[in-house]
Chain A
């Protein structure tokens, strides 16, 4: 990787003219120079059947192009069509308009532009006596099929997922929103990778200030390469040191569409199946696109379950440590007795038991998530047997701690998106609890809330919707209100256009 960048840098410093010259040989020489020691670039010279004066050369990068299309749409017409009676100056134009049967052809004279189109899978046609080259779109590389994303499975709902190819992704969204108000604006980011990034929003809903802010931040990016949307997510996020996401991401076209309809802005990055949405507020961690397709009682129940799960996952070990080591008076007597029995002859203090076991859990989780499924099973068996059974039998760890850690782990997986922030919060709370008991825990939660409430995502308060008891404000937070009730869009995000449904539909 590092080597690759180095080579490129050397090349860029070489003296290369900006524009094409008239001579075909010279032009070919220029490109051969640019692509020296790159054997994937193919140079193919072409002559015409009728016009012996015609000299041309096509350049393309093998693997990036559709060879069949080059053969039948470029090479064959160029060889077979009679070019004899065409004036020299009009050749290029004629070729473009009458000979080459490709839907996207344009003329270009700047070498830079030509080079980039080469990388995008275009074929370049250079001809003698012309300062311009034809750039013919012959894109044709192997793509992944549209399949259901593994990370966001649903029981009910569309099974399409984004792929790595940006245009395919855009088409998936376009197919769902059929309005000219849906805007796609491309920019290129990355000095070397020149990655295509598309900003997508619905003009009549999205807030212009957020769009402008996004542009400002994107234009400020100065990086050599963007390999995944994660790069952008981290670079343009609001509080860079916060463990919480202030920019969302999804692999599902339907959830991206829903976010666009709420007035959010989507950022597509070429080469990444994860599409970013912003602004992102805290409650979106708990929302799943499936919530909106299922019965609203069930969906609300799931929503509450997730919020409760997040609370448990963050707090259970900390509260356990606090109760066990500071506040034994708060444990009901029978429970205290059974825990006291379980803790007999365990050598470690509770705090180290909990911290150590949580660490082991994280190790098992991390190992399992990178391994092929077959080996993953082995890991889980080792985890349960060795750590669970054996350590309790051997009285190295007390049984209640295993239960606590298991509960923490399971509830953590209830909201996979929140996992990274959760780990940090949990450890902070555990350490505070081990110092000051429940009071440390309370101070810790106050601190976390201060942080959460001071966060903003592109000017929108992160904790939007909390601290309110008006039905219209909580309709999509802890519960998922029925669709006929969700008349308004989220207020601070969709500033321009609140009304989601007209009042008429409510009257029915």
Chain B
């Protein structure tokens, strides 16, 4: 098959771009630990299963005691329950520079968990525990909000993280 010189050029350009894109994603995923939120993501910190009976959330550890727990040098675990229409615990305080692991589940419907301006953004599905890690380097007030329409009070479903 005869290939025009220009065709060879753009095929090579396309192929090389694909290789670069996949290499960058591969390096960040396997060597830098960038992974999408999931129950298994924070495995070094949590030993929990990534599922929970949605009807028994309030009786199942660790969700029977939602709150902040210090687990290491400047390392915290925030155990959170999302419900219609709020987050428990609300208005969290965290020292600046802390590495925070959020483990969140829902006791009713699907909720969202987003901190605008950061990469923290995950779906909270009843029956599943979703986890994400974030380091709060900058002091200030961070908003946590639900970004999945969950009912008539959805627009009120938010809380804050105070980093100081």
A and B assemble together: no
